[in-house]
Amino acid sequence: AQKITQTQPGMFVQEKEAVTLDCTYDTSDQSYGLFWYKQPSSGEMIFLIYQGSYDEQNATEGRYSLNFQKARKSANLVISASQLGDSAMYFCAMREGRDNFNKFYFGSGTKLNVKP
């Protein structure tokens, strides 16, 4: 089974609007972490935001927030007030706790296009 599933291969959003990128995960661990990365066309991978499995509040970093719904095993990324520079691939990732403490599993990514 896939550890991380991103069901939206591509999305469009109008500049200045908000957009939600979906991510669901599969783990039987109680302790885990969820991450989002941005990959612009230049190719580098940029860390955006982190959510721990025991965190009660949704994580926020500037215009990025993570909508964490533990019971549904979803960790959607919300980008508010989209900018042209947000056009990129976005990857959801999970780190499972305990064994293989630092091994990440990545989803297949969502390509976001912001329209002017």
Say how far apart CA 62 and CA 74 lie, in whole Å. Answer: 21
- According to CB under 8 A, which one of 11, 52, 63, 111 is a site residue for other proteins? 52
Q: What share of the chain is helix, strand, coil (3-state, %, to 5)?
A: 5, 50, 45
* Binding status of residue 47 toward other proteins by CB under 8 A: yes
* Binding status of residue 5 toward other proteins by CB under 8 A: no
CB 75 to other proteins: min, Å: 13
- Applying the rule CB under 8 A, the residues between 24 and 43 that interact with other proteins are 33, 35, 37, 43
* Binding status of residue 95 toward other proteins by CB under 8 A: yes
| CA-wise closest residue to 90 among 104, 80, 77, 102 | 77
